[in-house]
């Protein structure tokens, strides 16, 4: 079973193989929130200013159309890469600068079309909470869910590193470099 992924206007489409997903997490950091605001489309933030992502190996994500719309920004020359669909500014996923770190935080905004399959595959939102100190409203702490999510991510990354996994739709297979030079945006 795969979970379909698409931008809100439908030009970018793809799918996720959910078996290897690390964890579903909500991030309340200022950078993620500023990114959602920079994208400028509604419905990306929860009521405490958090964004919902599925942390997973990028090798389990595949784009099937609209690759030419896939764009990348970053808040600095050393910041993480934030990928989005340029057509309708739907966030797609965030990846680390270091291609050896086999991670993508897929935005659930591009999984809206999958409906209940998202919760079935990745669990409910707001179980693993990151950077709650910068939330814009009080959030109920989830120490167990958070710890479990962090462990799952760490174990997943270690496993991927041991197996030497690098394949990613965001990296050029030949050069290992990002498929787009990230646009550095100053704020
Ligand atoms: Zn679109
Ligand atoms: Zn964040």
> pTM for the whole thing?
0.96
Do residues 146 and 131 touch, judged by C-beta distance below 8 A? Answer: no
Do residues 149 and 127 touch, judged by C-beta distance below 8 A? Answer: yes
- The environment of the single-atom ion ligand 2, i.e. residues with CB closer than 5 A, is 27, 29, 32
CATH number at residue 79: 2.170.150.70
**Tokens 């470099």 identify what position?**
177
The separation between CA 184 and the C-alpha centre of its own chain, rounded to angstroms, equals 18
- How far is ligand 1, taken at its centre, from the CA of residue 54, in Å? 20
Ligand nearest to the CA of residue 94, numbered in listed order:
2
End-to-end, the C-alpha distance of the chain in Å comes to: 41
Q: What is the pLDDT of residues 81-101, one digit of tens each?
A: 999 999 999 999 999 999 999
Band (5; pLDDT cuts 50, 70, 90):
very high
- How far is ligand 2, taken at its centre, from the CA of residue 13, in Å? 24
How many structural domains are present in the chain? 1
Ligand nearest to the CA of residue 9, numbered in listed order:
1
- Give the per-residue pLDDT at 85: 98
| C-alpha–C-alpha distance, residues 99 and 101, integer Å | 5
Ligand nearest to the CA of residue 92, numbered in listed order:
1
- Give the per-residue pLDDT at 23: 97
Ligand nearest to the CA of residue 45, numbered in listed order:
2
**Tokens 């989005």 identify what position?**
84
Range(s) of the domain holding residue 144: 3-184
Phi first, then psi, for residue 22 (nearest 5°) are -80, -55
- Tell me the average pLDDT across 15-44: 97
- How far is ligand 1, taken at its centre, from the CA of residue 55, in Å? 22
């Amino acid at each position: 079973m795969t979970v379909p992924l698409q931008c809100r206007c439908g030009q970018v489409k793809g799918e996720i193989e959910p078996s290897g997903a690390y964890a579903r997490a909500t991030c309340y950091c200022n950078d993620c929130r500023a990114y959602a605001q920079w994208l400028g489309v509604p419905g990306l933030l929860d009521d405490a200013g958090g964004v919902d992502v599925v942390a997973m190996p990028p090798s389990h994500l595949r784009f099937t159309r609209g690759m030419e719309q896939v764009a990348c920004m970053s808040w600095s020359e050393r910041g993480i890469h934030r990928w989005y669909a340029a057509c309708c500014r739907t966030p797609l996923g965030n990846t680390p600068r270091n291609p050896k770190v086999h991670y993508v935080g897929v935005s659930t905004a591009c999984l809206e079309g999958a409906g209940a399959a998202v919760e079935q595959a990745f669990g409910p939102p707001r179980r693993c909470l990151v950077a709650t100190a910068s939330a814009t409203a009080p959030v109920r702490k989830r120490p167990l869910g958070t710890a479990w999510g962090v462990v799952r991510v760490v174990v997943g990354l270690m496993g991927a590193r041991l197996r030497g996994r690098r394949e990613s739709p965001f990296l050029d297979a030949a050069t290992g470099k990002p498929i787009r030079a990230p646009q550095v945006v100053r704020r």
